Amino acid sequence: MTRVLLLGGGPDAERQVSLNSAQSVAAALRSSGRWQVIEHTIEQHLSGDQLAALPGEVIFPILHGPWGEGGPLQDLLEADGRPYVSSGPVAARMAMDKIATKILAAGLGIPTAPSAVLNLADDVCPIGLPAVIKPVHEGSSVGLHICLDHTSWALAIASSRENHARVPNRVLMVERHIRGRELTVGMLDGSPLPIIEIQPAQGVYDYEAKYTREDTRYVINPELPSGVAERIARHSTLLARGLGVRHLARVDYLLDGAGVAWMLEINTLPGFTSHSLLPQAARAVGLTMPDLCTRLIELALRDAPRR
């Protein structure tokens, strides 16, 4: 029986989400009966020697955030040489950088909202209001502020400055706020899964709505204006290919009243919790969680370099 080294935890702000995802993946793999699962929780960072000492023929990392999802861990996995699930270091770094992803998307003809790197010394929004403040290199709505007017902007800037004192390496961006429907599409082996519309009960799909509350509604294959679903599928495929993403991803959009789907970001290691969107989309095409996790390991084994 093939041994799967399942990595979770890590030093990033999304550590708890990673731990929850790892728990779900471990249960799914064990229930399949095909894999011997070896769980390892990363407390802070991991060295190449420490990784090499861990057992397993294939590695399934399920970490979220700049270190675990954005390149540093992928450097170690690549050097280790064993097959592993998810994108390589270059694609992971590009996808984790929302500004870089938006520049690539614009070059591919994919609509993306005007944005800029935020200078916390500025008291005035550089792109005008309404706007959204969010980290360039983190997900799960960490550090998200929606600023509809000058009062909310001032409060968001004050909060961001306070957080910067605690997390000085966090780079923030500001993006034009678009009112519309929240849509997401999962990618599995380069092909789009069904679109999901996210309908949060309390207006904003924030961290609590994603991971703790039970009041968010998810609509699979929602009714959309003519041609929108096809454009989203095409744009998601283009973006994933352009970044060099492999195995899995999730691309998020906002659909405005004119029928334009604005790309927000791409995640190369989306969540695998009970609330997570990629497993929901996979279920819609007949893939249970054990099926999905097994498929990802098979893709890692398929794409492993011949040695």
Q: What residues act catalytically? A: 14, 140, 211, 250, 252, 265, 267, 271
Q: What SS3 state is found at 300? A: helix
Residue 92 dihedral angles phi and psi, to the nearest 5°: -65, -45
Quick check: 62 and 5 in contact, CB under 8 A?
A: no
In the chain, what is the straight-line distance between the N-terminal and C-terminal CA atoms, in Å?
21
Maximum C-alpha span of the chain: 60
Quick check: 150 and 123 in contact, CB under 8 A?
A: no
* Tokens linked to 196: 């999901």
CA distances from 45 to 9, 13, 256 (A): 10, 13, 41
Those residues with Cβ within 8 angstroms of residue 125's Cβ, 6 or more apart along the chain or in another chain: 131, 147, 153, 174
Quick check: 59 and 83 in contact, CB under 8 A?
A: yes
Identity (one letter) of the amino acid at 11? P
Quick check: 293 and 32 in contact, CB under 8 A?
A: yes
* Tokens linked to 120: 């916390």
Residue at token pair 């403040």: 133
Based on its alpha-carbon atoms, the radius of gyration of the chain, rounded to whole angstroms, reads 19
Burial of 275 (0-12, 13-18, 19+ CB in 10 A): middle
Quick check: 83 and 60 in contact, CB under 8 A?
A: no
